[in-house]
Amino acid sequence: MAFNTSTISSSSSSLGFVRNSLRFQPGLARNRWNAAFTILAAVFSAVVVLPLVLVLAYVLFKGGSLLSLQLLTQLPPAPGLDGGGIGNAILGTIVVTLVASLIAIPVGVGGGIYLAEYSQSGPFAQFVRFGTNVLSGVPSIICGVFVYGLIVSTRVFFDQSYSAMAGGIALAVLMLPTVIKTTDEALKLVPNELRWGAIGIGASKFVTVVKVTLPAAFTPIATGVVLGIARAAGETAPLIFTALFSPFWPDGLFNPIATMSVLIFNFAIMPYEAQISLAWAASFVLVVMILGANLFARWLGRFTQA
């Protein structure tokens, strides 16, 4: 049998050409441009993360060394005196955030259920979605002024002006957009086959939502709720207009109450080193609390991807 050597040689040369063309050649212009833009993107990414790293490192350096049991359990000292702690502010932050959560979570989840399950594309649903997007961009101080004019100045609650309840309502207004949008988007991710199956066996719309749809979307909804709580816990401006501040332990929901963000604001502008140190310590505790809430939200988000 005779072989065509010219054909074999041409095939070998073409195969070698293909192999050479598939090799990475850093000298090519497109590869140099690709490497340059990759480095540029990495630099921009580092610039984005750098402020967060610097803030955490600086707050840890200034306030982490002051962390102690006394700091977490005692009342703040009088201006100019050493010692004391931020125990009332920690407890007040928990109380105000809890009040805000009890208001915003039922209303927000209920609004999200209505948008996703009962009026997906109606004019009212479109208006609510538009209003939610606008509300999420409203400055927090505007929410504080709104609640101040609506509740504090009118003394609605037992003829009391500044109170923990007013602060909780202001924070609830800030939480609502996050909870509503998260619930709406989470319910849209639930496959329609689950709804059809429940309706096919005779379940009503209410039973389908409660027994099938909501449990299927629980994890992303819980993630949005945690993110909303984390945002509300760090707000200052609304609480200045509503909860004000108190140097004492919380005394009910209808009296002024101390919060960590307002304590940081008040103490940071004082000309006393002791109060400034407490402000840094409170900043560290507040950052740790918010960071922990965000990490918890990311942990919940893993169940959505699974």
Tell me, rounded to whole angstroms, the distance of Cα 115 from its chain centroid: 22
Helix (H) / strand (E) element for 54: namely helix 29-63
Among 145, 157, 168, 146, residue whose Cα is nearest residue 93: 168
Tokens linked to 125: 């649903």
Domains contained in the chain, number: 1
Its pTM stands at 0.81
Separation between Cα atoms, residue 92 and residue 187, nearest integer Å:
34
pLDDT at 223: 86
Positive/negative CA dihedral, 223, 227, 229, 230: positive
For residue 212, being part of any structural domain is answered with yes
Among 276, 277, 260, residue whose Cα is nearest residue 268: 276
- Helix, coil or strand: residue 129: helix
Give whole-number Cα distances, 114 to 46, 58, 275, in Å. 41, 44, 48
pLDDT at 263: 93
For residue 67, being part of any structural domain is answered with no
For residue 57, being part of any structural domain is answered with no
Separation between Cα atoms, residue 182 and residue 223, nearest integer Å:
8
Range of the domain at 132: 90-305
Domain of 111, CATH number, reads 1.10.3720.10
pLDDT at 109: 93
Q: For the chain, how big is the Rg over CA atoms in Å?
A: 28
For residue 106, being part of any structural domain is answered with yes
For residue 54, being part of any structural domain is answered with no
**DSSP-derived secondary structure for 211-237:** IIIHHHTHHHHHHHHHHHHHHHHT--H
- Spans of the chain, pLDDT less than 70: 1-22, 301, 303-306
Among 103, 108, 107, residue whose Cα is nearest residue 179: 108
pLDDT at 40: 95
Separation between Cα atoms, residue 78 and residue 132, nearest integer Å:
43
pLDDT digits (tens, 9 = 90+) for 8-56: 555 555 555 455 566 777 778 888 899 899 999 999 999 999 998 998 8
pLDDT at 28: 81
For residue 246, being part of any structural domain is answered with yes
Residue 278: how many other CB atoms lie within 10 Å:
28
DSSP 8-state secondary structure symbol assigned to residue 247: S
DSSP 8-state secondary structure symbol assigned to residue 160: B
